[in-house]
Chains A and B, each alone.
Chain A
Amino acid sequence: MDFSILGAEILIALLGLAVLVLGLSLPGKAQKYVNGLALTGLGLVLIYLIISFSKGANLFNGVYQIDLYGNYFKILFLSAGILVMLMAGTYIKRFEEKSSEFYGLMILATLGMMLMVSAGEFITLYVGLELMTISFYILTAYLKSDKLSGEAGLKYLILGAVSSAILLFGISLVYASLGTTNFIEIGASFTSSSAVIAGVVMIIAGFAFKVSVVPFHMWTPDIYQGAPIPVTTYLSVGSKAAGFAALVRVFMVAVDVSDPVFNWSLLLAVLAAVTIIIGNLIALSQKDIKRLLAYSSIAQAGYILVGVTAANSFGLKGVLFYALIYVFANVGAFAVATAVEVDTGRTDIEAFAGLSKRSPLLAAIMTICMLSLAGIPPMAGFAGKFYLFAGAIQSGYLWLALIGLIMSMVSVYYYLGVSKAMYIGENSYEAPLSLGSGSTVALWVCVLATILLGVYPGPLSELAGAAIQILL
């Protein structure tokens, strides 16, 4: 067998283990080399993936699928991972002697995501999901001396375990009825018996938890607030994208969407609408940047779910497009939040007051990223939303698109609230913020990608269009 097809996964696994082992065995001062190794390693794998982007294979009788779709998301996870590690540079001092394990766990979480998106059947999917989630349980509680962090870790563990159980129960119901866990085989013999319907509903619930779709979103604000910011960032961009990637594959391959007995797409449409409305409305009253971004990320999950609901070329293209540009916008916003937290020790929006005078560039980047999240052109978020809602309208969900559009305009209120603080607020801090070189690079990448992909989205949308061919 040609192992180079699995090269990326194998290398990432080795890299993660190497970083963990070296971090334990090397003396304290050599730790930073381990961190460098982690970053370089991820960067090399990313290049490897880009080179072998068009490779495809069906491994182990359909258990593991290498295709454009999977490769697109793997590139997304690696880019997100690298950006998060770069921006974590200044924050990492809080981890004291434990920074290399942080990198190791991040890499293992990335591996879990990669397994999820390539899984061709439920068990593999589940293993990938657990690898990712368990890494995140630890990462969430990484600030040992911080009570909030510990509380967040425990909450995430308990709620995550429950959701995994629901997901597993759903999978077992489907397996019991249809006799297989392979997506393609399930798709071929899909019948809407009540057991299968119950099973798929539970599977949806399990995924909905991971991507924080209402009503399974309760954990999100507390955990986003308690976890160290880099972890929150990766949780919001990586874990969410992985959840959606797997959900889309399950839905497009295994579930008969146009099933006459049970209107799956209406179910998703209602979930999406509720998520968009509740996420945005609660975000309106948030005073803490992490909680604000948590509710905003719930709303964003709703937008992406609109694309899954549409299940057509525009909608799926939108899912892929949006998942990527969401990485840039969210990492950019969180990177600024990190810089502010490192400097002031606060995460409330008041701490951003006067930022435009202290560091005009940071304020501008924060505004641009926020506007991208709100979907205001010429930022990338607009093009992404255009695809998502065009898909919805094409599938006959004009009402859903209208709700989405109106709520994204409402969301401008809270996103601009941060800008307002930055541009006309005042507080006692005056010195310019200091940024590590890693954060600076990450910020520039995020802001340039956000603007470029917004102004000229053509190439990326073609790439996304090629990646979804396999699902249509």
Chain B
Amino acid sequence: MNEIPVLTIALLVPLLGAAIIMGLPATQDKWIKGTAATSTLVSLILSIAVLLAYDRAAGGMQFVETIPWIKDLGVNYALGVDGISIPMLLLTNLIGFSSIYASWNIADRVKEFFALLLILIAGVMGTFITTDLFIFFLFYEVVVIPIYLLVIMFGSTKRVSKEYAGMKLTIYLLIGSAFLLAGLIALFIQAQAISGVPSMDMAFLATLEYSTSFQIIVFAFMAFGFGTLLSMFPFHAWSPDGYAGAPTAVSMIHAGVLKKIGGYGLIRIALTILPAGAAVIAPIIAVLALGNIVYAAYICLSQKDLKYIVGYSSVSHMGYVLVGIAALNLISINGAVIMMFAHGVMAALFFAMIGNLYEKSHTRNIEDFGGLAHQMPKLTAGFMIAGLASLGLPGMVNFIGEFTIFVGAFGTYRVITILAISGIVFTALYVLRALGRMLFGPRNEKWDHLQDLKGVEMVPLVVLGLAIFMGGFLPFTLMDLITNGVRDLIAQIGMLQIGGLL
């Protein structure tokens, strides 16, 4: 432990920022925003450093930190990152950093807003960098309450009230987490019965042999818990309403990274520890995923509110991730991870642009707009990048994700994959229709007073746009890393043969 605990620092800096903000007087807007921006910037730099310093040849868990925490439960404060968690860590901080700037114009209750937002960012980060099941769950639930408070205090009431949206979001996720927790405890008890020592270490739990029936039950519990968070059909109803009610920063973080905890948990915990259960339940997940892809895309076609379009489209995109996970092979899981990253930056950019537009025009109804490209060229560029990424245009990171998933999944689920690919057509349809209606066409005099993006408002566009193109043109920057992580994981559970594609 002579090395610098990089991960702990990255985790604690936002919390420290939150503590400082709570101590600042409420009138010091500039200082509060500055503190928030600085602390997320530090975390972002640290996570880029981790990405660069990670030894790809060696692989496995690196930057490991372990401190015994609760003895009788075998809990350690254990941090570590591998090829799967680094992209997620990076994603969290990219979006966290951008979300601060996307909320730069908040004027009321600034102090509460940024303190809660920083706690939220730290909580999300924690889930991705811990290797201990208990600590994972701790962070997983820590994020729920700041989100609730942020939604009811700073959200917007349109089709549903923000109170309703906040509570729906919270209760859905908590009920899901109840099943998850029941599964985790059952796993812990069973592992203790088998091995004789209490342990919450994910890697250790994965080495034990559980009976198949046990694995199926616990995997089902976890799939329900994680699936709810990932807005798996039919447990997705919280997602569009929640995003619509939430303030911009929360929509960005929620759709961008928080949802991904569900996919990450499925891969890192459920799949790794309970492979036999996964083999039985995966086909069910694949079928449900089709519900996500096709059903949510259909709904998108009839939406008029921008946030609902992106909300349902994120439900639809999560279907691809689920198909990737359910196909249970190296390529498809690779694709699922890269897709989570890709969708994260894309959705966050989308919500940042919508938030900016809504702030200025006080409407999100696409039919109210037209020809915005005349008044707001930069905003239009942002919308177009996000939109084209969303429909999987080559050159953007999303294309890499979708393509990899389809290649990986085709061998396992032919019909489902073909149907899933058809989802891309719908996506193109609703995205292009909405953006075309809004951004192009004759100039609308009504919106002449709108100011284009300027100053700090550009930060989300630049940061997230860059990530989209970087991932698209130089996919190997992340792809190698992810392959590394997924290969380790699959080797550990001996599924290479099941996959059959390597």
Contacts and interface: CB of A to CB of B under 8 A. Distances in A.
Contact of A423 (B70, B71, B153): B153
Interface residues of B, number: 33
A342 B66 CA distance: 48
B141 A465 contact: no
Contacts of A383: 70
Interface string A357-380: 000100000010001000011100
A416 B148 contact: yes
A424 B152 contact: yes
Interface stretch (A96-104, A141-149, A326-334, A406-414): A406-414
A402 B71 CA distance: 25
A287 to B, nearest CB: 16
A371 B170 CA distance: 13
B49 interface: no
Most buried by A among B134, B142, B167, B189: B189
B149 interface: yes
B199 to A, nearest CB: 13
A378 B138 contact: yes
Contacts of A413: 167, 171
Contacts of B171: 409-410, 412-413
A168 B137 CA distance: 46
Interface string A381-397: 01100100110011000
Query: Which are the 3 A-B pairs with shortest beta-carbon distances?
Result: A409-B174, A405-B178, A377-B138
A13 B137 CA distance: 46
A187 interface: no
23 contacts: A317-B72, A356-B112, A382-B138, A386-B73, A386-B134, A386-B181, A390-B73, A393-B185, A393-B189, A401-B185, A402-B178, A405-B178, A406-B178, A406-B179, A409-B171, A409-B174, A410-B171, A412-B171, A423-B152, A423-B153, A424-B152, A458-B70, A462-B72
Interface of A: 317, 356, 360, 367, 371, 376-378, 382-383, 386, 389-390, 393-394, 398, 401-402, 405-406, 408-410, 412-413, 416, 419-420, 423-424, 456-458, 461-462, 465
B69 interface: yes
B144 A376 contact: yes
A69 B423 CA distance: 62
Interface of B: 68-73, 112, 134, 137-138, 141-142, 144-145, 148-149, 152-153, 163, 167, 170-171, 174-175, 177-179, 181-182, 185-186, 188-189
A428 to B, nearest CB: 20
A390 B145 CA distance: 24
Contacts of B142: 376-378
Contacts, number: 88
B167 A457 contact: no
B72 A461 contact: yes
Contacts of A386: 73, 134, 181, 185
A381 to B, nearest CB: 11
Given A377-B142, A462-B71, A409 B177 contact: yes
A366 B457 CA distance: 36
A456 B138 CA distance: 12
A391 to B, nearest CB: 9
A389 to B, nearest CB: 6
B412 to A, nearest CB: 31
A404 B242 CA distance: 26
Nearest to A419: B149
Contact of B189 (A394, A408, A423): A394
A461 to B, nearest CB: 6
A447 to B, nearest CB: 13
Contacts of B69: 456, 458
Given A389-B182, A390-B189, A412-B170, 10 more contacts: A371-B145, A378-B138, A393-B185, A393-B189, A398-B182, A402-B178, A405-B178, A405-B181, A424-B153, A457-B70
Contacts of B72: 317, 461-462, 465
A408 B178 contact: yes
A393 B138 contact: no
A401 B185 CA distance: 9
A390 B138 CA distance: 16
B211 to A, nearest CB: 15
Contacts of A378: 138, 142
Nearest to B141: A377
Nearest to B111: A360
A389 B183 CA distance: 11
A356 B171 CA distance: 23
Contacts of A423: 149, 152-153
B222 to A, nearest CB: 13
A402 B179 contact: yes
Contacts of B163: 420, 424
B403 to A, nearest CB: 38
Nearest to B176: A409
A401 B182 contact: yes
A386 B73 CA distance: 10
A399 to B, nearest CB: 10
Contacts of A461: 70, 72-73
A10 B145 CA distance: 46
Contacts of A376: 141-142, 144-145
A419 B144 CA distance: 14
Given A317-B72, A390-B189, A393-B186, A412 B141 contact: no
B132 to A, nearest CB: 13
A354 to B, nearest CB: 12
B74 to A, nearest CB: 11
Given A406-B178, A465-B72, A390 B167 contact: no
A173 B245 CA distance: 61
B162 to A, nearest CB: 9
A394 B189 CA distance: 6
Given A405-B181, A462-B71, A416 B141 contact: no
Contacts of A398: 182, 186
Nearest to B70: A458
Contacts of B138: 377-378, 382
B175 A406 contact: yes
Contacts of A465: 72
A301 to B, nearest CB: 20
A409 B175 contact: yes
Contacts of B73: 386, 390, 461
Contacts of A410: 171, 175
